[in-house]
């Protein structure tokens, strides 16, 4: 099975700055995970957002921006509008 990233023909440079950031890094766990069961982990067709345990032992959201297919689903689906898009270079 081919991945969404491969089929989209989207390419990111290895050292390219992430084009997806968070306004407030605490919101995904404190609000979205607690209240909405973490929709970020489900709405992205390319699996960009993953909840898991961080190095400090706390739960957090990891953004795998290199997998992004630039569909901007987060703009519609993020209940707190906490994800910020920065135009890729």
| Higher-scoring residue by pLDDT: 42, 6 | 42
CB atoms within 10 A of CB 52: 9
**C-alpha angle 50/36/48, rounded to 5°?**
20
pLDDT tens digits for 29-64?
999 999 999 999 999 888 899 999 988 999 999 998
Sequence-distant (6+) residues with CB within 8 A of 73 are 43, 44, 45
Q: What is the pLDDT of residue 2?
A: 42
């Amino acid at each position: 099975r081919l991945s969404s990233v491969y089929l989209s023909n989207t390419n990111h440079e290895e050292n390219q700055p992430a084009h997806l950031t968070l306004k407030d890094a605490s919101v995904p766990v404190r609000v979205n995970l607690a209240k909405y069961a973490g929709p970020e982990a489900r709405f992205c067709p390319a699996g960009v957002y993953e909840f898991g345990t961080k190095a400090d032992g706390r739960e957090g959201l990891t953004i795998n921006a290199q997998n992004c297919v630039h569909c901007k689903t987060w703009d519609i689906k993020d209940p707190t509008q906490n994800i910020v898009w920065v135009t890729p270079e």
